[in-house]
Amino acid sequence: MTKTDQLQDLLAPTVHALGLELLGLEYLPQPGGSLVRLYIDVAGPEAGERTVGIDECEQVSREVAALLDVEDPITGNYTLEVSSPGIERPLFTPAQFARFIGENAKVTLKLPQDGRRRLLGRIVAVEGETIRFDLDGTPFEVAHSNIEKARIAPDWAALGFPAKGTKPDGRSKKAAAGKQQPTTSTGGAGSAMGGVENE
């Protein structure tokens, strides 16, 4: 089991107990201290009807920080960030890809496939662990296990942002918990974020 899987299994019940869903997390070991980034969303009947607010991100941040202090699964210093998915929503599981069939996604592969490691294409089908894309008319299949990271690629022009890559301001607040020091960060477009820095 990878460290990411271990953290996912440890933290998901705490997020669920707060009435939210842990979409996935990123664990990035770094020399100065690891980064743990959680993506949360509304769960149950409210899913799709409202978005996660910054207060919920801060609440999850406090609860998760307390759990990490007790369980101590991370060696050394770490920074914890909790974020809503935003418009450029990350995709972690085949079920999440299936939910967004018809949408475009940016994907980075773990190992090159057909000479490419990055792709931008429309999600057309999910069959078991296989994700099928349309790359400008060319079909392309990827095993989910070979996907390093993936995000929805919004049509910014359709959203009213004529300049390519122009996004709404995602500046957000961070939450402090216990003796940990607050950090500041800019979340993704349309996202809310809270976080703490462990010392």
Residue 53's pLDDT is 92
CB within 8 Å of 167: residues ≥ 6 apart: 87, 88, 156, 161, 189
pLDDT band with cut points at 50, 70 and 90 for residue 57 = very high
Interval 142-167: pLDDT, tens:
999 999 999 999 988 888 886 555 55
Residue 5: burial class (beta carbons within 10 Å; 0-12, 13-18, 19+): exposed
Q: How far apart are CA 154 and CA 105, in angstroms?
A: 8
Prediction pTM value: 0.78
Instruction: Write out pLDDT tens, residues 182-192.
Output: 333 333 444 45
pLDDT band of 181, cuts 50, 70, 90? very low
Q: Residue 64 has what pLDDT?
A: 98
pLDDT of 156: 84
> Which pLDDT score, from 0 to 100, does residue 90 have?
97
Domain limits, the chain: 3-87+166-198, 94-152
| Residue 95 or residue 43, greater confidence | 95
Tell me, which fold does domain 94-152 have in CATH? SH3 type barrels. (2.30.30)
Model pLDDT for residues 117-126, shown as the tens digit of each residue: 999 999 999 9
133: helix, coil or strand? strand
Mean pLDDT for the chain overall: 85
Q: Quick one: pLDDT at residue 188?
A: 41
